[in-house]
Amino acid sequence: MAFITDPFARSGPPAKTKLILLGLPAFHPENLMTWVRSLNLEHVSPAKLMRSEISRRPSSTGADEATTLALLRRWFFARKPDAGFVLTDFPATLLQAKVFDEWLDARDEALNAVIAAESGAPGPVVAHYCTLGLLTEPGALAQ
C-alpha cells in the first residue's frame, strides 16, 4: 500500500496552530509579528470582545475578570475544534491560564506554543507555561 504524501507539508504551519502571545505586541520581534499576521488564523484579544460590554455597564476589577472569562469562554466553545487561533492579552493572570487549560482539556486540544514578550508579560503566567514546556523563543517559530 502506497503512502499518500501531504502536498501542503512544506507550505507553513497548519490551520490548526494554536498560539498565545504574552505581553505587549510592541515588544515582540518584528519578524515574529509579521509571521503571525501572515498566518491564516483567527486573531483574538479580550479587548476586542469587551468593547461592547464596556459601553453597557460600569464594572469592578473582579467583574472585569469574570466578564473576560465569560466572553473568551463563549468564543472558545463556539469556534470549530480544528480551527487555529492566535490569542493576545489572554491569559493575563494565572487564574485565567488555569481556566484556559481546563477549556483545552475539555475539548481535547493543546496549544502549539506560548511566546512571551521581553517586557509586559505576566510573570506567573510565563512561569506556568514554562513549567508545562510550552514557552517558546520568539525566533524559533518565525523562521
- 14 versus 72: which is more confidently predicted? 72
Q: Model confidence over 82-125: pLDDT tens digits?
A: 788 988 889 989 999 999 999 999 999 999 989 888 777 889 99
Q: Domain coordinates of the chain in residue numbers?
A: 18-141
Grid cell, residue 37, equals: 499576521
Alpha-carbon span 10 to 8, nearest angstrom: 6
**Cis, bond preceding 91 (omega within 30 deg of 0):** yes
Q: Tell me: domain 18-141, CATH 3.40.50.300, correct? A: yes
Task: Compute the C-alpha angle 141/17/119, nearest 5°.
Answer: 50
**Residue 57: its pLDDT value, please?**
55
- pTM (2 decimals)? 0.72
Of 10, 34, 36, 14, the residue nearest 115 (C-alpha): 36
- 3-class DSSP state of 86: strand
